[in-house]
Amino acid sequence: MRVIGSALFVIWLYGLMAVLGLICLPALLGPRSWAKACFNLYLVLVFAGLRVLCGIRFEVRGREHIPQGPALVASKHQSMFETLAFWQILPDPAIILKKELKFLPVFGWYAMKLKNVAVDRSAGAKALRDMLKAARQRAGEGRQIVIFPQGTRVKPGAGESYKPGVAGLYSAMGVPCVPVALNSGLYWPGSGFVRSPGTILVEFLPAIEPGLSKGEFMTTLEARIETASDALLAEAGRKLTAGEAAA
């Protein structure tokens, strides 16, 4: 049943993206709020399908820490789930995405209309400068800049270094950084096909105020996210072996 439900959900996820994206094409010619309304409708339908077809819900904790104005949000990244869910959870996010995604049909059109931040990872120092410039602009509009500081999706329980780009954003933006822990990979894997029923936990942690040194900030950020994410895994009853984490 999980295989059937997962297959139907994949059809729903991408079929809906194509159909609704094309129906809402005129929104791309209007103000950003039009595209945002269409994308919000898409998310409502996607997460409804996730509940019905896969038995997956999500719960947000630490809502008192969700920023309402400009902030840097640094999140654990385990699956495609959080790249979508933050658009429902945060007031007006701008997610830092790899450049290749903006060239995807439909998804890329809306990602750019919604003024996310596309980063060319092959451009080295120039990519960092461009990211910092775009992030400051979005923050100046009162938006929340979302970055996945490990730079890629990481399996639950697996280790991956935190990249320096998040420290560059923290220093350049001069706004609080809100860490986010989650366990989405237990139910919606970053790779693989079958999704498992359960409740994804997303936890917003107390903000790290601006002004820390790079080293102190990175140490604090990693400790908070990893400790809280491990606790969410334990709460879900999943203690991964070293072999599972490395697989």
H/E/C letters for each residue in the chain?
Answer: CHHHHHHHHHHHHHHHHHHHHHHCHHHHHCCHHHHHHHHHHHHHHHHHHHHHHHCEEEEEECHHHCCCCCEEEEECCCCCHHHHHHHHHCCCEEEEEEHHHHHCCCHHHHHHHCCCEEECHHHCHHHHHHHHHHHHHHHHCCCEEEECCCCCCCCCCCCCCCCCHHHHHHHHHCCCEEEEEECHHHCCCCCCCCCCCEEEEEEECCCECCCCCHHHHHHHHHHHHHHHHHHHHHHCCCCCCHHHHHC
Domain ranges of the chain: 56-246
Over residues 163-196, the pLDDT tens digits come to 988 999 999 999 999 999 999 999 999 888 899 9
pTM of the model: 0.90
Output the pLDDT for position 131: 84
**What percentage of the chain carries pLDDT values higher than 70?**
94
Question: Which residue positions in the chain have pLDDT lower than 70?
Answer: 121-123, 238-247
